[in-house]
Structure 1
Amino acid sequence: MRNYYTAIQFWSYSLLVVCLCPLAVFLGAYMNWPLGIAPLLLLAPPTVLAAVSSPRVCYWTITVISVSSCFAEIFFRPDLEEVRSTYPLSIMSAAVLIGLVMLIDLYMGKLRRKLSQLHQQNDELVRQLYETQKQSIADASKSTIAELKEKQTSESKDNTSAESGVNYPLLLLTLQDIGRRISTNQSNESLIPTVISTAKASLQCESCQIYLWDTKSRTLKNALPARARDQLDYRPAANHGVAAWVIEHRQIVMRNDADQDYRLKRIIEEDAQMPDAIAPLTVGSELIGLLIIDKIDVESPTIGRLIYILSNIYALGIKNSQLFKRIEEMASRDGLTGLYNHATFQEKLHELVKNAEAQSTNLSIIMSDIDHFKSFNDTYGHQAGDFVLKEVARIWKTVMPENAVLARYGGEEFIGVLLDHEYSQARQIAEDLRETLENCPILFEGQQLQVTASFGVTEYRHPATNTKDLVRAADEYLYKAKEGGRNQVVGLDSNTTRKPGTQAS
């Protein structure tokens, strides 16, 4: 107990509660609140946090200090006469604090008991593994290699002996290692090779393929890009054969079992090259893909169970990888337009400038701002403004080259980086963008919205030599375009192209 009270964590919470006590008195008096309200609001968060993260003796001590602080307000409130009738609220506040801590204490107790059970189970598995390995070493020292092979052969003929000979502790440790290796790979590019290698090692097979399921197109795609040296004996089809049956029924099909199943005999005739096993990769009711296993070296009655366990582990790993990629994509892109956001654009621009400097290639920037954008929001509402932004982003994606890096720079500003494009080419693309926007009215709820934009164009090294100066130069040219009457392109040559009759406003 002495170690608990000397811990920095305990004294930090204690000091925080003591410091909040006079603040609660001041706040209660200033806001003319009933007694107990201010201490409850200020002291409940640190008390609950201490209950969650501190030893039991510590957080109960913190709770006693907090409860005392609730009653300490009675002696220091300058407006005591006005709030004397609200003494019961101090008792209620103290009761609320104690109740919160008791609930947390109960919940933490259940968690501790659960963790203790898990630790006991883990210790038991380790003990079993140790005893099994110890026994195996003793048996190996007393028998020859020939005797061991003869014993294994006799056990393979007896199903009961085969079932009892499974080293479950070792199997659990193997599955734990597979799960750890899969969880450390966050992208499919590194995850799929790990899945294939662990499947080959665990199932002792020569061939393993992963096909991912596309829900929209209802097609299967090999998770690994095809290579010239790869010779794939089996390619699953989503609309016929055994793969289609697995997709529909979400069940594992083993070739040995399927030969004896009258329901699958006709389907197997369509799939003459059917592999040893096809397993669905599912998470809940969602199909992730198919696991194709072929040329298994060792026949075992437990191979189906192992494939079932591995397919579930692999499905969770692939699903987590897909979710991780989706979260990364959401974090790097603007939610409204789908273009890169400002922060991601700055990172990519820095990389592109660095590559352009190293390889001595051209790089140009186009920056634009929608003219009179505020009027769309004021006249038609913010939904119209959002619709205009999405349509402008769509036009940018259509007109700009495929390798261009596009972003919503902020508000109604858009920016694009053109790789291997000189200034003259970038200016022509900016003109194409301007004309497309001007000549293609945007239809919103039956109304045609006339949208125009102003553009600034610049090129790397003329004269900007870093990302900051490059964006600043494009922004300056954009500002000149808006000053000069909008709906025009301004760049290095200071010549502008503007629709006749356009006036500055």
Structure 2
Amino acid sequence: MRNYYTAIQFWSYALLVVCLCPLAVFLGSYMGWPRGAAPLLLLAPPTVLAAVSSPRICYWTITALSVGSCFAETYFRTDIVKGDNNYALSILSAAVLIGLVLLIDVYIGKLKRTLYQIQQQNDELVRQLYESQKESFANLQNTGDADETKPRQPAESRDTPAGEVGVNYPLLLLTLQDIGRRISTNQSNESLIPTVISTAKASLQCEYCQVYLWDSKSRSLKNALPVRARDQLNYRPVPESGVAAWVIEHRQIVMRNDAEQDYRLKRILDDDPHMPDAISPLTVGSDLIGLLVIDKVDVESPTIGRLLYILSNIYALGIKNSQLFKRIEEMASRDGLTGLFNHATFQEKLHELVTQADAQSSQLSIIMSDIDHFKSFNDTYGHQAGDFVLKEVARIWKTVMPEKAIIARYGGEEFIGVLLDHEYSQAMQIAEDLRETMENCPILFEGQQLQVTASFGVTEFKHPATTTNELVRIADENLYKAKEGGRNQVIGLDPNSARKPRI
């Protein structure tokens, strides 16, 4: 009882009734209404709301306050002659309030009894289902023991339905061991997801299988693989409604046959008529990784749900490990501040691209830049401002450079980019766009505008550089000339002018 009376909801209704009582007195006096009319009009809504949304002891306390307000009006109204003790209308108003609450109380009690009966029926159905499954499992074991004492019959002569055949646990364990080995050897989703789908189809004997990955930030599902024509399903899980939403919320497997017999899921199934044979959550601990959707199961078996549960856990661990492995790779290959490739990764990718360009006789250019007077940002505004400038400059590079360009933080305040299938003149134009964007877009840091400019050096593969070291060295030389020549400019070597620098 003490917990009920300390609830904010109870005190909110009580305060509302107390505040409306003086208003009822004023309204009754001003309008000349009969006794009890104003309290009934003003106090009936909060009393009814309290009866609908509060515990029983609370809403009867609120009702008592409202009834008391009906009688308190008599003592405070200025238009009532002293000595007039006619309380008939006040009693009538109080009776109306009590009657409303009694009706709501009776209806809520009846509703609770109905819900209790439904819950009891559900518990009884669950108990019967459990006993039935337990008895079926015992019969299967007895059948298996009896079969061991009988001579084996050819597989063709057996007429036993598939659902009554005992589980071959040694074969099942070997299958799960093989699946675990194949999952653990695939470290990327590109090779892991096809393995998940193929092993699920083979183990669950289903025709269709899809994996959808969960994005917790956008709360959306994405097919882990590009959908091919032969893999298309009639069903696509929607995280906002239907069975998929229920699976995401409760993190439980839903099989269509079970959902059709469960009154709790029957309503959801009516809203999602194209549900496949089963949807299983892929979870690791409390983290949702995605959903496993299977359809067109060839053989109905009582063990399909257990096998799906085991496989889902194995698949979830494999996908989680793959995601962690990818994240570690990203952290090892990228600069932690700007998100661009680091120096070592850039050298590896540049070597691969130069080898490819040499073999295919394709064009390749390099842009290298250095932020002008960067040391002054750290000295004047602090290192936090310098870090912020580096991140903003990296953002400008990612915005201006082509989508397929390789961009890296070469070291300190130096940035470098590789342009595939771009000749020298195109690289010069992109470098000039970068220079103008930095010059015309002041960086706002903690209310202060920081003017940032940069110097650029450009070179092209085989004009004259023929190796990765020469490419970087010539671009760095041109960058040095740009800084010596006054900064905030682009200098490259025109391949048609025999190493003649131009601005």
Question: TM-score, normalised on structure 2?
Answer: 0.68
Q: How many correspondences in the alignment? A: 354
Match of 1:143, as an amino acid?
A: Q
Deviates more, 1:327-336 or 1:354-363: 354-363
Structure-2 residue corresponding to 1:350: 351
Q: Secondary structure at the match of 1:242?
A: helix
Q: Tell me the alpha carbon deviations over residues 450-479 of structure 1, each in whole angstroms, 9 at most, x when there is no partner.
A: 111111001111110111111110001011
> Percent identity of the aligned residues?
82
Displacement of 1:140: 9.2
Q: Give the superposition deviation at 1:241.
A: 1.1
Please name the residue that 1:77 is paired with.
Answer: none
1:281 aligned to 2:275? no
Asked whether the 8 Å contact 1:488–1:496 carries over to 2, the reply is no
Q: How does 1:173-322 map to 2 (within 5 A)?
A: 173-322=174-323
8 Å Cα contact 1:278-1:293 kept in structure 2: yes
1:359 aligned residue: 360
What's the counterpart of residue 141 of structure 2? none
2:208–2:231 contact (8 Å) kept in structure 1: no
Q: Which protein has the larger Cα radius of gyration, Structure 1 or Structure 2?
A: 2
* Rounded Cα–Cα distance in structure 1 between residues aligned with 2:241 and 2:338: 39
Change beyond 3 A, Cα 1:464–1:167: same
Q: Secondary structure at the match of 1:193?
A: helix
Amino acid at match of 1:144: P
One-letter identity of the residue aligned with 2:430: I
Asked whether the equivalents of residues 365 and 459 of structure 1 are also in contact (C-alpha less than 8 Å), the reply is: yes
Matches for 1:290-439 after TM superposition, within 5 Å = 290-439=291-440
Counterpart in the other structure of 2:87? none
Any idea what the Cα deviations from partners look like across 1:280-320, whole Å, max 9, x if unmatched? 00111111111111111222111111111110110010011
Task: Quote the Cα distance in structure 2 between the aligned partners of 1:246 and 1:216.
Answer: 18
Cα distance in 2 between the residues matched to 1:360 and 1:137: 72
Distance 1:356 1:144, change over 3 A: closer
**Mapped partners of 2:368, 2:299: distance in 1:** 63
Counterparts of 1:406 and 1:443 in 2: how far apart (Å)? 24
8 Å CA contact 2:405–2:420 kept in 1: the answer is: yes
- Give the whole-Å Cα distance in 2 for the aligned partners of 1:234 and 1:297: 18
Report the Cα distance in structure 2 between the residues aligned to 1:171 and 1:280, rounded to whole angstroms. Answer: 22
Give the match's secondary structure for 2:308.
helix
Per-residue Cα deviation, 1:321-369 (whole angstroms, up to 9, x for no partner): 0111111111110000000001111111111111111221111100001
Query: Any idea what the Cα deviations from partners look like across 1:93-142, whole Å, max 9, x if unmatched?
Result: xxxxxxxxxxxxxxxxxxxxxxxxxxxxxxxxxxxxxxxxxx99988964
1:65-89 alpha-carbon deviations (Å, 9 max, x no partner): xxxxxxxxxxxxxxxxxxxxxxxxx
Q: Secondary structure at the match of 1:330?
A: helix
CA distance in 2, matches of 1:415, 1:136: 75
Label 1:471 to 1:255 Cα distance change in 2 as closer, same or farther (>3 A): same
Q: Which amino acid in the other structure matches residue 249 of structure 1? A: H
List gaps (5 residues or longer) in structure 1. Answer: 1-134, 498-505
Find the aligned partners of 2:439 and 2:372 in 1 and give their Cα distance: 11
Q: 1:137 to 1:415 in 2, by over 3 A?
A: farther
2:471 corresponds to: 470
**How much has 1:200 moved relative to structure 2?**
1.1
Cα distance in 2 between the residues matched to 1:333 and 1:232: 38
- 1:6 corresponds in structure 2 to none
- Distance in 2 (CA, whole Å) between partners of 1:326 and 1:220 is 20
> What SS is found at the alignment partner of 2:471?
helix
CA distance in 2, matches of 1:491, 1:136: 87
Cα 1:264–1:435, aligned 2, differ >3 Å: closer, same or farther?
Answer: same
Residue number in structure 2 paired with 1:144: 154
> Contact 1:281 / 1:315 at 8 angstroms: preserved in 2?
yes
The one-letter amino acid paired with 1:349 is L
CA drift at 1:171: 2.0
1:453 has 2:454 as partner: yes
RMSD over aligned Cα, in angstroms? Answer: 2.0
Call closer, same or farther: CA 1:447–1:472 in 2, change over 3 Å.
same
- Which ranges of structure 2 fall in alignment gaps of 5 or more residues? 1-144, 495-499
The Cα of 1:496 is off from its aligned counterpart by 5.2
Distance 2:265 2:147 in 1: 45
Aligned residue for 2:80? none
